[in-house]
Structure 1
Amino acid sequence: MNKPLFMRIVTRLANEVSFFQRRRDATGRLGLSGLQKATTAIRMMAYGCAADAVDEYLRLGESTAMSCLENFVEAIIYLFGDEYLRTPTPQDLQRLLDVGEMHGFSGMIGSIDCMPWE
């Protein structure tokens, strides 16, 4: 993921979703930043790592990592769902087919198992 896209996502999350806003805890210390929380969720999804695998790198525990992932997914659907998580139009499908064909995958539309789509 390129940095401007990542920062756009993090900024929207921090501005519009309370979970991703940095707050002080009961002792007055600042909690995790939206950047840490979003990075945790994206790393878990991108690399398929377990929640306890991000504790040393991002300094948070397993239950917090799981909470970051759950809130991230819900927030992405809420913030970007109407724009990006929609049924593809015939024009979208044709564009995907054309790009796939340019790369030698005729009849493929985002297929993991490389089976053609009718």
Structure 2
Amino acid sequence: MLKSLFYFVLTGLFELGGGYLVWLWLREDKSIWLGILGGIALAIYGAIATLQPANFGRVYAAYGGVFIIMAMLWGWKIDQVTPDYYDLIGAGLALVSVVIIMYAPR
């Protein structure tokens, strides 16, 4: 379970980081090199997800919940946008969903 959570977090960092670099390039008029690095990070994100032990559909369904939580944290720490009460409720529900999808006994 810890290995799986590690892969989820690593995947999220590469997806959010890559997307953010592309965002900076296209929306903030930063260097194209940030966009290229972002594209590379997004490709790595896709590869990391394959290291999960579960099937594709289950992994990506659960990762969606992890992504919600990590995106909230990213917005809070990087963009300085504090999550409100409803953001926290939604992220909490996403976390419960991740646990059920990935770790419920089958």
Who wins on radius of gyration, i.e. which is larger? 1
Report 1 or 2 for greater relative contact order, CA contacts < 8 Å, sequence distance ≥ 6: 2
Please state which band the TM-score falls in when normalised by the shorter chain.
Answer: 0.3 to 0.5
Provide the TM-score with structure 2 as the length reference.
0.32
